[in-house]
Amino acid sequence: MFIATLLTAPSTPSLDPALVDSLRNAWGGGEATWLAPDEAAEFPLETLPANQWEVWAELQGMGVDLIVLPAEGRRKKMLLADMDSTMIQQECIDELADEAGVGDFVKDITARAMNGELDFEGALIERVGLLKGLDEAVIGKVLDTRITFMPGGKALLATMKANGAYAALVSGGFTAFTARVADTLGFDENRANTLLTADGKLSGDVGRPILGREAKVQALKDITTRLGLAHADVMAVGDGANDLGMLDLAGAGVALHAKPSVAAECDIRINHGDLTALLYIQGYAKPDFAA
């Protein structure tokens, strides 16, 4: 048994009941359940539709995300999340680079690295090197004035944790940012790279070993082993090439507003919904969301 979920952007909910019924009838699905009026609905299926991705592409043009998942084990016991452009709306290194006057150059490197065009570790070392001499206090300034949270994050964390899930934030960014984000949103732990400093200024280097793609995979393995969970119990979410390992290993790997090359590798692609989409695809209705 499978569950098909259709959802739209919560800021402009526009899911047409006629569209849901049309697809349900075409695929021979069961009765539709509305998880949020005009925003998210689901219906059961006996088998995977042969034309799932053709329909997905058509619905994308209508501002609708379509996800088809096995019904069994939909509700996950652990959330493993990327930070930059996933739990927050920015790339923290790009914001620091703006303060250092090298923003445009660094943003180009970041975009190429996240799209898998550059080696992540080498690209990180190069970008951090350009921050050398930046006052350490700028980190706090960026956190206070430049960083905004991805919509739906607080509801996602609160709801999954209220239902017994564990939440870990694992980032190729920096501990100075993950600590604040993890504390604000309610993550149980966070892992990231450490910006090195000397005499109150950034040294232009980052602590070793560098946390990249393989370290995120290892985090998933380590934490599930520690908690006695299976990889299938994990929902992972990210947007960049360095997230692909953990997205592939997790029971549900979600590409959230991801780079095209990343989304192409994932079966769960959220391009219109926000982080509450991760609740809908687990079968939570809006009234189930924790405060």
**Residues acting as catalytic residues:** 82, 84
What dihedral angle (degrees, nearest 10) is formed by the CA atoms of 117, 204, 175, 78?
20
Distance CA 193, CA 269 (A): 27
β-sheet with 189-193: strand ranges across = 189-193, 166-174, 78-81, 234-238, 252-256, 268-270
What is the rounded end-to-end Cα distance, in angstroms, of the chain? 31
Q: Which string of b and e fits 88-125 if b means at least 16 CB within 10 Å?
A: bebbbbbbbbbbbebeeebbebbeebbebebebbebbe
CB distance 251 to 220 below 8 Å: no
- Tell me the CA distances in angstroms from 102 to 7, 81, 106, 141, 172, one per residue in order: 39, 28, 6, 17, 20
CA distance linking residue 170 with residue 178, whole number of Å? 8
91 to 113, 156, 231, 239, 277: CA distances (angstroms): 12, 21, 28, 11, 21
CA–CA separation, 181 and 274 (whole Å): 17
CA angle 60, 120, 171 (to 5 degrees): 70
What lies within 8 Å, CB to CB, of 149 at 6+ separation is: 87, 88, 89, 181, 184, 185
Q: What is the distance between the alpha carbons of residues 260 and 237, in angstroms, rounded to a whole number?
A: 15
